[in-house]
Amino acid sequence: MHAKIYFTEFASPIGRLRLTGDGAAITGVFMESERHDSIQARGAVRDAAPLREAQRQLEEYFAGERREFSLELAAAGTDFQRQVWQALREIPYGVTASYGDIAKRIRNPNAVRAVGLANGRNPISIIVPCHRVIGANGSLTGYGGGLERKSFLLALEKRVVAQ
């Protein structure tokens, strides 16, 4: 038997966000028109109450008042993907890293392409900051939510750090 999944949606500076969770942990943060949409939200129950704290923390993040999230997370993925997603959480606020940096961090320096694929499958955007991963040459590379959103998030963090 599967745990019940809850979801809610709310407006943010980068468009509507959909949060999903199982009542104990956040399982997804999805943007409108994201390539990898929340498959698990099908059959989910609309209920904001179990997701209120996550929404509050995301709103604080967008207001420039929060740099770190303190939420229980439960992202569905392979062991390798979860290893990459954990490494993403270690990238400091306002800092960027390359796919190669992440591959080295997980002690698998030849896995740059696999790191890129795992980064792209991150179901908990923003909280697991896949937007902080850029190309080795410093360029903005693909982002499930679109490059304009990635650019917005990086600019927000840069502005807050500069204050």
Catalytic residues: 130
C-alpha dist (Å) from residue 121 to 47, 56, 118: 25, 24, 5
Residue type, 97: A
Structure tokens at 37: 């949409």
Cα gap 130→125, rounded to integer Å: 6
Pairing between strand 45-46 and 26-31?
A: unpaired
Cα gap 2→97, rounded to integer Å: 36
C-alpha dist (Å) from residue 64 to 13, 69, 105: 12, 13, 28
